[in-house]
Amino acid sequence: MKYFIVSDIHSFATELKYALKGAGFDKKNKDHTLVVVGDIFDRGDETIETYNFLSSIPKKRCILIKGNHEFLFRDLLRKSWPESHDFSNHTVDTFCQIAHRDIADLHNGDVDWEEIKAFVKTSKIWAWLQSKQWKNYFELGPYIFCHSFIPVSLKPKFKSAAMYYGTWNLSGKAFKYWDDWRNAMDFQWEDATWGDPIDYYQAGLFEEESKKGKVLVVGHWHVSDFWKRLANIKSYESPITEIYYSKDFIGLDCGVFREPYGGYFHPQNVLVIDDADFSKCYDTYGYELEYVKPARIIETVTPKS
């Protein structure tokens, strides 16, 4: 079985399908499984196309992991009116696309918010997002796939903190490794989708799993930041979009970029793992990834703009 891992699709179906085709993914191939590490919607304008593609793959071969934008979607359905972050995260755009409405009409008062919510609540997309197909994490051999980081426990004097505050470098002070993270409650996993995974990693919160030979694979945070902060590699011309990898930590999310003449572009990384051979690892160009030994990475694909 080959596993094709992507993250942070953000309603860019065209880039997703282009990258998967380049990586050799065939949804009709019974030996191909797609793993999505969260954040399928928001930002792009291909919400319906993204849903249609993912839902067309047999459920047993499409593993969906919850990201913070899945929780944003759920929370917005409960509100009488969107908050500012619902607009800035483009969750409102997603709702309008599902309801076949223009967001400009919402701003102008030409369409009622309750009407849009009612449409979304009865849509196939909302039923799908609530289905058991969605998981908090997935393990494959040595790999642990989750959106941002595994849940960790709070130290006593930081009982009121949340994992999100790791973004402000509290991770080393407020949190500690929790060996029962696999049995965490849904709200703890939700909390874990928000923080800066690099913060937690640098604070040593994955060391215990690393000693067991585990490798953490995440999205959520742009790979250019992984390369800059963990490998001291940065580009002054354009952000690095290639998969970040080390012996126990892999980052996938390229990020969304604004086009020079308007609109957005979202290159998609694909990590390909063959569970039949855990001995060698290769990048897109056939070079061995020397530090990621636990499984075989056949190919990584990063489309160029």
Could you read off the pLDDT tens digit of each residue along the chain, which spans 305 residues? 889 999 999 999 999 999 999 888 999 999 999 999 999 999 999 999 999 999 999 999 999 999 999 999 999 999 999 999 999 999 999 999 999 999 888 888 788 899 999 999 999 999 999 999 999 999 998 899 999 999 999 888 887 788 877 666 677 788 899 999 999 999 999 999 998 999 999 989 999 999 999 999 999 999 999 999 998 888 777 788 888 988 899 999 998 887 777 777 888 999 988 876 655 545 444 445 565 443 344 445 555 44
Compute how many other C-beta atoms are within 10 angstroms of the C-beta atom of residue 22: 15
Residue 289 is predicted with a pLDDT of 57
Residue 64 is predicted with a pLDDT of 98
What are 218's strand-pairing partners?
251
> 98 exposed, middle or buried (CB, 10 Å; 0-12, 13-18, 19+)?
buried
In a domain, 92, yes or no: yes
In a domain, 287, yes or no: yes
d(CA 62, CA 6): 11
In a domain, 282, yes or no: yes
Residue 301 is predicted with a pLDDT of 53
Supply the range of the domain harboring residue 120. Answer: 2-137+257-301
In a domain, 238, yes or no: no
Contacting residues for 55 by C-beta, under 8 A, at least 6 apart: 124, 128
Cα dist. 87→76, 105, 123 in Å?
A: 10, 14, 21
In a domain, 56, yes or no: yes
Structure tokens at 296: 């075989």
In a domain, 131, yes or no: yes
Structure tokens at 198: 């690099």
d(CA 38, CA 162): 20
Helices 91-98, 47-55: axis angle to 10 degrees equals 70
Residue 250 is predicted with a pLDDT of 92
Structure tokens at 251: 């980052």
Residue 108 is predicted with a pLDDT of 81
In a domain, 284, yes or no: yes
In this structure, are strands 138-140 and 134-135 parallel, antiparallel, or unpaired? unpaired
Residue 276 is predicted with a pLDDT of 67
Looking at the structure of the chain, the number of domains it has is 1
End-to-end C-alpha distance for the chain, whole angstroms:
31
